[in-house]
Structure 1
Amino acid sequence: GQAAGQTAAGISAPAWLESEPLIIVGNWDSMPIFRHRVGGGTTWQEEDYRKEHSEETVRRLKGLCVTMAIIHFYKGFCREAEKEHEEDAQKLADLLHKYGIRVGVYIGSTIAYETFLAEKPDAADWFVPDFLGMPVFYDDQTFRKRVYFMHPGYREYMKGVIRHAVEDLKVDDIDFDNTSMQAQAAIFQHPLAIQDFRDYLAKRYSSEELKKRFGFADVRYVLPPRWGKPLGAINDPLFQEWADFRCAQLDRYYAEMAEFIRGMNPNVAISTNPHSGISGRNTVWDQGVDYPGLLPSMDIVWTEEGNEAGVTPDGILVSKIRTYKMATSLHKRVLTYTAEIAPNGTLVSGKSGGKLQMAESMAYNRQCLGMVGGMLAGYGIADEQRKYIQFYKDHFEHYRDVANVADVAVLHSHASMAFNNDRPWQSSMLFEQALIQAKIPFDIIFDQQLMDLSKYRVLALPDQECLSDEQVALIRHFVEHGGGLVSTEHSSLYTEWRLRRRDFGLEDLLKVHAPAWHGSSEPEDLLKI
């Protein structure tokens, strides 16, 4: 199977996605069954729900230049419990298509067990057990249980949901939510996940390789870590393999769903929500999300990282530029909120604060202006935001078929970023911040892209400590053929398994020697040069 940190071949985007602007609205949380169960609503929420489904609302969205609406479809209450809302979604999809607006449908990954088990009792086998003495729910919504997504029964059920959307609603996009939660640590205490982990190790390594990795070759009794404390460097080989396994399983799941969807209709786009983007969070360890492995199975990637565009009082630029660059490097589009964002993270219609977010998306995103509001945006969006949307639509030819002209590449090596929660992330974020604020164009690249660095004049390694011998050789080849190299802190001092070398792997280029080794429990010294 595809190892974490590698880029799979992936799917090709539907032709329409390459030629049309993405200006998006959505209403996936407005369905009454969800609003009643989650609580904290309003006395007029069902009135708004009905209004969202009216022809006047759709007509106003068309006037706003909206090109796609992501509508409610499957929230995990089970098909029968959501039947009435599915029928509403069908009617809304027909209306949107009538006005030439493409339709995406929301598909969640959690199970609202109170209604779901009444229809499908055997789904209890999908649920993950308690983790560290706590039940595994969706945040504070305790009615939404979490499942092991690779359970065969769950996968087949989800394919039935997707088939209904593709064949009956004739959707243009399947929008998977909760991706960032599906492969978190707690999920992989499921008995089937434990066996899958053992099988993964046995297939990934020969007996001799297993002995080098763990000191023994028989992995039949290996258990996944049960760990709930913060970690800095991740040295334990089982922890490293477990992180990669979780990523690999999530990649497999979405590759399977993508193949299923495209087998029914190659013109259906696929979007998912890994949530965090490139925001300083180790998504491999925290979420089981490895962007170079995951994104090949989708066309559009959500980010809900925050980092709303602006400047702090002390002059620090805050942005999603890193996430946009990551997605562009992997030939994907980013979907994020570009309407006004309230302090609690919700969208607010009718204010002008979304202009900067829209401008940022125009400049750095690939053919996507983002989510400009909810389904009722056509009634109350600010005139200034409306002008931005109209401008983007009218001048879309300037935003399509574009390529980044950067000649600086900043490497995010998988092992460096996955197996250390501290310095490589701090160094990368700070190095990229310096480039952004100095207005130096750059790309964020990943392991596979080291194979061809011909478009770049400079390669930057911000504390990319874990590099394989092969990667070291590729970097050396780049420098020997005229490329420039900027290397900071402990780049190349460790192997891809985070084993410490006697000296920098790139010592011959750096012309400095490694600091003294104090043992794995002590931080490395910084050289004073």
Structure 2
Amino acid sequence: MSRRCVLCALAGASWLFGCLLFGALPGAARAADDSRAAVTSVTQAPYYWTYWGWSGPVYARQPDATAVERPGLGIAGGEEWYERLHSEERVKAMADVGISLAVTHFYWGLGLESEREDQQRTAELVKLAHKHGIKVLGYCKSGSSHYALVKELPEPEKWISRWSGGKLKIYDYKPAESPNIPPMASVEPCILSPEWLAYMKRAIRIGLEDIGLDGFHFDNTCRSPCYCERCQRAFREWLVARHSSPRKLGLNSFDEARLPLLRTPSPEIRDPLEQEWVRFRCHIMAEHLDDLARFARSIRPEVILLHNPGWPRRLDQPYRLAMWMPLQSRHFTLVWAENGNSARMSDDVLISQIRAYKEAAAVGFRAVSTTWKGGVVNASGLPQTPEEVGLQVAEAAANKAAVPGANWALRPDGKGDRMRIDRPELREALAKSLRFVRGNEKLLAGGRPVRDIAVFKTFDSMAFNSPEAGPLVSGVEESLIRSGFSWEMVFGEDLRRLDGFTTIILAGQSHLSNKECEAIRAFVKRGGNLILVGDNGRHDENGCERSPSPFEGLDENRVARVEADAVRSTVSVVGLGEEVRVLLPKGWKQLADAIERVAGSRLSVRLEFPGSSPESPAIERVAGSRLSVRLRGANTVAVSGYELDGNRLAVHLVNYAPAEQPKDLCLELGGRWEKSRAARLLTVDGSERNLRVRRDPQPRLELPPLGVYTVLIVE
């Protein structure tokens, strides 16, 4: 027996990270009770958002303020732009366009007293916004601050994080003329610092009680490791609380435990101590965010809480940034999806925020896309054409867990007070798109995602084996997007969510707990279908090898296997704006075939692509007639299906190549809709037409050429 397995045997099941999320650890049950009850109605409210200037003159006057951080104030005449930004004329105009939620400046990390001038302007803006029905969130710097803050929060050694060598985490330190720290250096606070937490709570109270904000945008809520003595002590206490003996971690004494060093590139993590460190960091990040959320709700229960974890960008976020969305984000109303994934086709790569929206739906928050095209963080990375504006809104509207809006509208457009929304063609494109979405709110209200296919992901696989699991999961997701399927995500933290799905896909989920394995086996025994991509379940959650495979002995008619090499994708991150490019795997049709074999007409809906057979043998074999819907005819159109009351089906179709209106499209409907006779086709330009459901033999709809965004209501 290897040393690794000896440690596993000593640990038994050790400590399951999942128990943290199910409430077995201190604070988790409390968070589950108060957070979900407090945020559900606020989360599901209809929001249509825009940026409203995220920094004011106080910050813009600082020497290290960048053009991105002081839009408009860093150019000649920027003061005119800033004044107009806070005018009632601008507020009313944005309300008329359809905007109902603004994210504006409040606290930039210089100090609450230092920024009082800017905050008073925010308070004036809040009053105008409320007059016109717009709620306002205040930007609140969280993941970093400025060294100038020591004027208000002294003794920096108590609240600034430390590098592994013990030095304070101070960025952009330039000791050219003096060894003293420059007053505008950026620093990273330690989330375990009581001084820092108290200061953040002071900011929250001022924002809600003095400024009148409706909520906050906490920025940069991810963290690299801190190596201060406080974190070292907390880690040892964590180990003592989780393990009866240090031998389970390969130690003679818990006092020997040291915070591991972060490795680059992110490795497969086999050492039990290093695994506990990753869990510990994710846990304390979640506790920090939970504490802020509970404090804000103690002042105002209906507060809107948005945070930005720099997501989704990396495949190794749990390891590198202490971020696992099912843990940290379930306490929040909204989560920023900040990257370069502005919706479009680029060199046959479909760039999208679909993964963010699916993850949001699985956890229970809503995602707000703030994105730049091509990883370029300047005006050229913002929408330039009406089609790009419409596509950005359409992608969000097609996913109920997203918030449609415009990150570009009020940004400066040259000198003076001009803004990008002043361009008539962009303004009309935004207004038209939002009119369509808002006009169909009641029609689509209460829609529930069709439970055709779910991609199953676990913390232990994604955190401890990201080099293998990440490209496989990304490849599966991209194959589903490009194959015309409607699909969702399920996380190991919420196994109840498996119920009702037709097909579950495991891709490179090498680390599965016994509980997760049993839940998946039970799913198949109840009649569900399972697709295994690559090696799954060969380790338990602690990395101990498992033999035989946990999925042996299942009904082979309900199980399909796809080789890892067929679906593994190449994932790259491009530019300062961090555009995530996921290449369509060469064997993507093998996955589509596998779904057809096991699910087939059991799916609700599918949009078909050229050259695929009506009954691709792989997916049909395992799913049969249980899929609800599938689109055939184009692999640049994404599909989202929702069940509506009255046994109706809503299908959202988003065309990522609007310059090319795909023709000869076929939308296949599942057996549940075999009695349907017709469907209504709704488009952004206001046109509506009826389509007849044909049968040959499966019910299907032949679609006209598609624009950017189309909604079908099958009745």
TM-score by length of 2: 0.66
In the aligned structure 1, how far is the partner of 2:478 from the partner of 2:114? 48
What's the offset of the Cα at 1:17?
A: 4.5
What's the offset of the Cα at 1:217?
A: 6.3
Report the equivalent of 2:76: 43
What's the offset of the Cα at 1:23?
A: 2.8
Q: Contact between 1:60 and 1:378, CA under 8 Å: does it hold in 2?
A: no
**1:379 aligned to 419, 422, 427, which one?**
422
Report the equivalent of 1:92: 125
Moved more, 62-71 or 27-36: 27-36
Alignment of 1:198-347 (within 5 A): 198-207=236-245, 210-212=246-248, 214-216=249-251, 218-277=253-312, 279=313, 281-313=315-347, 315-337=348-370, 343-344=376-377
What's the offset of the Cα at 1:300?
A: 0.4
Q: Contact between 1:325 and 1:443, CA under 8 Å: does it hold in 2?
A: yes
Report the equivalent of 1:67: 100
Q: Contact between 2:266 and 2:320, CA under 8 Å: does it hold in 1?
A: no
CA distance change for structure 1 residues 245 and 78 in 2, over 3 Å: closer, same or farther? same
In the aligned structure 2, how far is the partner of 1:145 from the partner of 1:229? 22
What's the offset of the Cα at 1:500?
A: 2.1
Unmatched runs of 5 consecutive residues or more in structure 2: 1-14, 23-27, 68-73, 175-183, 411-418, 560-715
In the aligned structure 1, how far is the partner of 2:304 from the partner of 2:266? 37
Alignment of 1:399-478 (within 5 A): 399-478=444-523
Q: Which has the higher helix share?
A: 1
In the aligned structure 2, how far is the partner of 1:219 from the partner of 1:331? 37
Output one character per residue of 1:123-145: Cα deviation in whole Å (capped at 9) or x when no partner. 44211223469863468997220
Aligned AA (2:44): E
Q: Contact between 2:136 and 2:213, CA under 8 Å: does it hold in 1?
A: yes
Report the equivalent of 2:212: 170
**1:179 aligned to 217, 221, 229, which one?**
221
Unmatched runs of 5 consecutive residues or more in structure 1: 513-529
Q: Contact between 1:272 and 1:298, CA under 8 Å: does it hold in 2?
A: yes
Moved more, 360-369 or 484-493: 360-369
CA distance change for structure 1 residues 420 and 372 in 2, over 3 Å: closer, same or farther? same
CA distance change for structure 1 residues 16 and 291 in 2, over 3 Å: closer, same or farther? closer
In the aligned structure 2, how far is the partner of 1:413 from the partner of 1:392? 34
Q: Contact between 1:295 and 1:301, CA under 8 Å: does it hold in 2?
A: yes
Aligned AA (2:529): G
What's the offset of the Cα at 1:114?
A: 4.1
**1:503 aligned to 548, 551, 569, which one?**
548
- RCO higher in structure (CA 8 A, sep ≥6): 1
What's the offset of the Cα at 1:89?
A: 1.1
Output one character per residue of 1:251-300: Cα deviation in whole Å (capped at 9) or x when no partner. 101111111111111111111011222x5521101110011111121010
Three-state SS of the structure 2 residue aligned to 1:227 is coil
What's the offset of the Cα at 1:36?
A: 3.3
CA distance change for structure 1 residues 304 and 242 in 2, over 3 Å: closer, same or farther? same
Moved more, 392-401 or 153-162: 392-401
Q: Which structure has the larger Rg over C-alpha atoms?
A: 2
In the aligned structure 1, how far is the partner of 2:432 from the partner of 2:376? 24
Report the equivalent of 2:110: 77
Three-state SS of the structure 2 residue aligned to 1:241 is helix
Three-state SS of the structure 1 residue aligned to 2:404 is strand
> Aligned pairs, how many?
503
Alignment of 1:347-366 (within 5 A): 348=382, 351-352=385-386, 353-366=388-401
Report the equivalent of 1:520: none
CA distance change for structure 1 residues 475 and 110 in 2, over 3 Å: closer, same or farther? closer
Moved more, 192-201 or 449-458: 449-458
Q: Contact between 2:251 and 2:257, CA under 8 Å: does it hold in 1?
A: no
Report the equivalent of 2:21: 6
What's the offset of the Cα at 1:304?
A: 1.1
Q: Which has the higher strand share?
A: 2
In the aligned structure 2, how far is the partner of 1:28 from the partner of 1:2? 40
What's the offset of the Cα at 1:350?
A: 6.3
CA distance change for structure 1 residues 287 and 388 in 2, over 3 Å: closer, same or farther? same
What's the offset of the Cα at 1:340?
A: 7.3
What's the offset of the Cα at 1:149?
A: 1.5
Three-state SS of the structure 2 residue aligned to 1:411 is strand
Report the equivalent of 1:523: none
What is the RMSD computed on CA atoms of the aligned residues? Answer: 2.7
Q: Contact between 1:57 and 1:378, CA under 8 Å: does it hold in 2?
A: no
Give percent identity, aligned residues only: 26
Aligned AA (1:394): G
In the aligned structure 2, how far is the partner of 1:139 from the partner of 1:310? 35
TM-score by length of 1: 0.88
CA distance change for structure 1 residues 149 and 34 in 2, over 3 Å: closer, same or farther? farther
**2:539 aligned to 482, 494, 497, which one?**
494
**2:54 aligned to 22, 28, 34, which one?**
28
What's the offset of the Cα at 1:378?
A: 4.6
1:155 and 2:179 equivalent?
A: no
In the aligned structure 2, how far is the partner of 1:427 from the partner of 1:148? 34
Q: Contact between 1:6 and 1:448, CA under 8 Å: does it hold in 2?
A: yes
What's the offset of the Cα at 1:491?
A: 0.3
Report the equivalent of 2:185: 143
In the aligned structure 2, how far is the partner of 1:341 from the partner of 1:285? 26
Three-state SS of the structure 1 residue aligned to 2:446 is coil
In the aligned structure 1, how far is the partner of 2:374 from the partner of 2:94? 20
Q: Contact between 1:136 and 1:145, CA under 8 Å: does it hold in 2?
A: yes
Q: Contact between 2:368 and 2:403, CA under 8 Å: does it hold in 1?
A: yes
What's the offset of the Cα at 1:194?
A: 1.1
Q: Contact between 2:337 and 2:371, CA under 8 Å: does it hold in 1?
A: no
